[in-house]
Structure 1
Amino acid sequence: MTIFKTDRLEIKEMKEADLPFFIELMSAPEIIDPIPAPKRTEEEIIALFNGFIDYPTNPLIKEKIIWGIHEKGKDEMIGLCGFLTNDEDQREIGYRFRKKYWGVGYATEVTKNLIAYCFNDLELSTLTADVNTENLKSVKVLEKFFKPVREFYNERDQSLDRRYILEKADWLKQ
C-alpha cells in the first residue's frame, strides 16, 4: 500500500520482496556507521523486518513504523523512512538510503514530504529528529526544516547526537 508520494518517490508499506534491500540498509557499514546504529546479525535484521511488515490501520498506535522508499514506477526499494517515539515520548522522523542513491536530493525530498504527512494526515502537532552530529549530510537536511534544541551523548549508539524539533505552526509558516 502506498502511504504518500513525492515528485520522484513513492513511500510504501514494505513487502517480502523488500527483504534483501532492508538487510543492506540495516547492515552495510557505509550506511550504518554514520548513523551510527548497532551492528545486528542477519537473523536479528530479519526479525526486525518481520515486525515492521505487520502494519496497523492507524500508524500512530505503534511506537515505531518503517516504510520503504521507491523511485516512482520501480519495484526496487532504495531506502527507508518512518517515525518512532524518542526517549522523551515525542514522535521522531527518520530516513536512510542505499549508498547509490545518495547525493541526488532524495533525503530532502522525503523529509519534507514525511513532515507534511505527519502534520497533515496523522495530525501530529510536533515532530523531532535526532542525528549523530558527525553525520553532516543529514545535519544539513534536518536544518532545512527543524531547529536544534539540544545535544546529548547517545549511550546506545555511543555518539554525540543533536535533537531537532519542529512545531506544526512553524511548519505552516515555511
Structure 2
Amino acid sequence: MIIFKTERLEIRQVTKKDLDFFIELMSAPEIIDPIPQPKLAPEVIIQRFNNVTDYSIAPLLKEKVIWGVYESGKDELIGLCAFLTNEDENREIGYRFRKKFWGKGYGTELTKNMITYCFTVFELDIVTADVDTKNIGSVKILEKFFHPFKEFYNEDDGCTDRRYILKKEDWLNKQ
C-alpha cells in the first residue's frame, strides 16, 4: 500500500521481503555513523525489522512510525523515513538512504514531502528534525526547509546535535 508519493519516490510500509536492505540501512557504517547510531546486534536489528513491518497508521499522532522509501514503480527498498516524537513532545522527521542512492536529490525530495505530510495529514503546527552537526549532507538538506532552533550535546549518541524547527505558517508562506 502506498502511503504517499513524491515526484520519484513511493513511501510504503516495509514488508518481509525487504529484510536484507533493512539490515544494510541499520548496520552499514557509512549510513549509521553520520546519524550517529551505535552498532546494533543482529538480533536487535531483526526485532526492529519485525516492529517496522507491523506498524499501522493509527498510533502516528502519539508514537512513531517508520516506512520504506522506494523508487516509483520498483520494489527495492532504498531508504527509510521516520515520523517520531522528540523529548519536547514535538513531531520530528528523520530519514536514511542506502549509499548507492545518495547524491540523487532523494533526501531533499523526501524531506519536502514529509513536511507537507506532517502539515496536511497530521495537521501539525510545528515539525522538527535533529541532526549531528557533522552530518553535512543532512544539514544541507534540512537548512533548505527548516530554521536552526538549538544545539545540544546528545549524550546517548556522543555528538552535538542541531534541532531544526519549521512552523506551518512559515511553510505555507513559502509555497
TM-score normalized by the length of structure 1: 0.97
Partner AA of 2:129 in structure 1: A
CA contact (8 A) 2:8 2:72 kept: yes
Alignment map for 1:92-171 (pairs within 5 Å): 92-171=92-171
Amino acid at match of 2:136: L
CA offset at residue 136 of structure 1? 0.5
How many Å separate the matches in 2 of 1:149 and 1:44?
A: 32
CA distance in 1, matches of 2:154, 2:62: 23
Deviates more, 1:138-147 or 1:80-89: 80-89
What is the match of residue 173 of structure 1?
Answer: 173
Q: Deviations over 1:59-86 (max 9, x none)?
A: 4255220000000111000000021111
CA distance in 2, matches of 1:126, 1:69: 23
Unaligned runs of 5+ in 1: none
**Which amino acid in structure 1 is aligned with residue 143 of structure 2?**
E
Distance 1:47 1:60 in 2: 20
> What is the DSSP-based 3-state SS (H/G/I as helix, E as strand, rest coil) of the residue aligned with 2:60?
helix
CA–CA separation in structure 1 for the residues paired with 2:56 and 2:134: 34
Q: Secondary structure at the match of 1:157?
A: coil
8 A Cα contact 2:60 2:83, kept in partner:
no
Q: Deviations over 1:31-73 (max 9, x none)?
A: 0011101210111001011112222242425522000000011
Cα gap change, 1:138/1:57 in structure 2, threshold over 3 Å: closer, same or farther? closer
Task: Determine the C-alpha separation between the residues in 1 that align with 2:96 and 2:136.
Answer: 14
What SS class does the counterpart of residue 10 from structure 1 fall into? strand
Residues 1:42 and 2:42 aligned together: yes
Q: State the alpha-carbon separation in 1 of the partners of residues 16 and 141 from structure 2.
A: 30
* 1:60 corresponds to: 60
- Give the whole-Å Cα distance in 2 for the aligned partners of 1:165 and 1:54: 29
Tell me how far apart the structure 2 counterparts of residues 19 and 111 of structure 1 sit (CA, whole Å): 24
1:21 is matched with which residue? 21
Residues 121 and 61 (structure 1 numbering): CA distance in 2 closer, same or farther, change over 3 Å?
Answer: closer
CA distance in 2, matches of 1:145, 1:59: 26
Q: TM-score w.r.t. structure 2 length?
A: 0.96
* Runs of 4+ residues over 4 Å off in structure 1: none
Counterpart code for 2:66: I
User: d(CA) in 1 for partners of 2:84 and 2:4?
Assistant: 18
Structure 1 CA distance, aligned partners of 2:139 and 2:55?
A: 29
Aligned-partner Cα distance in 1 for 2:57–2:99: 31
- Structure 1 range deviating more: 26-35 or 62-71: 62-71
